[in-house]
C-alpha cells in the first residue's frame, strides 16, 4: 500500500504566514505541517493545542520517517516513536492519505489523533503524504523509513515493501524495530474490532483515541 497513489487536499503553510481569520492558532502551531484548525468537528471537545510538536523545517540531523495508516494510532505506534527518538534527531509520523477501504477514520481524523497522542514530543512531526513513499521521504530530506515488526506475519509484507522501496531509491534504508512485549499483540484492526463490540481498549490506545472510537461506534450504532 505504500506504493499507491494517495490523495489529500492539505497544503503546507509556513510560520511566517498569518493564521486564517477566526482561528486561535499560535505562530508555533502554524509551523506544524498541516493546519488542524480546518477540521473543527474532529477537534471539538477534546483536542488541546498541538504547538509543542516540531516543525519539519526545524529538523537538523538524522530524521526517520515512520509511515502507516494509523487508523487509529495505538500505544504500539507511540512506543516505536519513543524508541526511535533515542536513535534519531527527529521522527516524522507520516499518515498515508489514501484511506484504506476498511478505514474507520479519514486521513484528517487520523492525523489529528496522532498529533494529540504525540503532542508532548518536541522532536516529532505529524503529517499526511500522498504518492510514492520514497518520494515523500526524499522530499523531507530523510533517508530512513522506520517500520515496526510484530510477528512473523508482518515480515513477508514488510520485506516485500522494503525491497520494492529500495529498488525505487537506493539511498533510502528501511529500518525495523521489534514491537515492545507490552504491545506486540496490539493492532489498529483488533482495536477497532474490540471497540466496535463495546470492549475496553484502555491502556492500548491514547485517551483521545479511546474517546473517538467510542463516539464513532455509538454514532454508527444509532445509524443502524
Q: What is the CA radius of gyration of the chain?
A: 17
Q: How far apart are CA 142 and CA 186, in angstroms?
A: 28
Q: How far apart are CA 200 and CA 82, in angstroms?
A: 24
150 is catalytic: yes
Residue 77 vs 212, nearer CB to ligand ADP: 77
Among 13, 38, 150, 211, binds ligand ADP (CB under 6 A): 150
Backbone angles phi, psi at 162, to 5 degrees: -65, -40
Asked if 188 interacts with ligand ADP (CB under 6 A), we say: yes
Asked if 99 interacts with ligand ADP (CB under 6 A), we say: no
Angle at 82 between CA 110 and CA 120, to 5 degrees: 65
Asked if 70 interacts with ligand ADP (CB under 6 A), we say: yes
Residues β-bridged to residue 68:
95
Asked if 110 interacts with ligand ADP (CB under 6 A), we say: no
8 is catalytic: no
101 is catalytic: yes
* Cα dihedral 127, 132, 137, 139 sign: negative
Asked if 154 interacts with ligand ADP (CB under 6 A), we say: yes
The answer to whether the CB of 164 falls within 8 A of the CB of 157 is: no
Among 126, 186, 195, 213, binds ligand ADP (CB under 6 A): 186
Q: Tell me what percent of the chain is helix, strand and coil, each rounded to the nearest 5.
A: 40, 15, 45
Closest-by-Cβ residue to ligand ADP is 76
Size of the site for ligand ADP (CB under 6 A): 16
Catalytic residue among 150, 166, 211, 216: 150
Asked if 147 interacts with ligand ADP (CB under 6 A), we say: yes
Residues making contact with ligand ADP (CB under 6 A): 68-70, 74, 76-77, 80, 147-148, 150, 154, 179, 183, 186-188
**Catalytic residue IDs:** 77, 101, 150, 188
Amino acid at each position: 500500500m505504500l506504493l499507491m497513489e494517495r490523495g489529500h487536499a492539505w497544503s503546507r503553510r509556513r510560520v511566517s504566514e498569518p493564521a486564517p481569520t477566526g482561528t486561535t492558532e499560535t505562530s508555533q502551531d502554524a509551523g506544524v505541517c498541516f493546519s488542524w484548525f480546518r477540521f473543527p468537528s474532529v477537534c471539538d471537545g477534546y483536542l488541546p493545542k498541538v504547538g509543542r510538536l516540531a516543525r519539519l523545517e526545524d529538523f537538523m540531523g538524522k530524521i526517520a520517517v515512520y509511515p502507516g495508516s494509523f487508523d487509529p494510532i495505538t500505544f504500539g505506534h507511540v512506543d516505536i516513536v519513543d524508541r526511535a527518538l533515542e536513535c534519531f534527531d527527529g521522527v516524522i509520523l507520516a499518515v498515508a492519505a489514501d484511506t484504506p477501504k476498511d478505514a474507520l477514520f479519514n486521513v484528517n481524523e487520523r492525523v489529528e489523533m496522532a498529533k494529540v497522542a504525540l503532542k508532548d514530543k518536541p522532536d516529532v512531526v505529524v503529517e499526511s503524504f500522498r504518492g510514492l513513499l520514497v518520494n515523500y521521504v526524499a522530499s523531507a530530506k530523510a533517508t530512513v523509513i522506520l517500520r515496526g515488526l510484530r510477528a512473523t506475519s508482518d515480515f513477508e509484507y514488510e520485506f516485500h515493501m522494503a525491497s520494492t522501496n529500495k529498488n525505487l531509491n537506493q539511498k533510502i534504508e528501511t529500518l525495523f524495530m521489534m514491537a515492545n512485549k507490552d504491545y506486540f499483540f496490539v493492532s489498529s484492526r483488533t482495536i477497532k474490532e474490540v471497540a466496535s463490540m463495546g470492549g475496553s481498549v484502555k491502556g492500548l490506545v491514547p485517551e483521545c483515541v479511546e474517546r473517538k472510537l467510542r463516539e464513532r461506534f455509538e454514532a454508527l450504532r444509532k445509524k443502524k
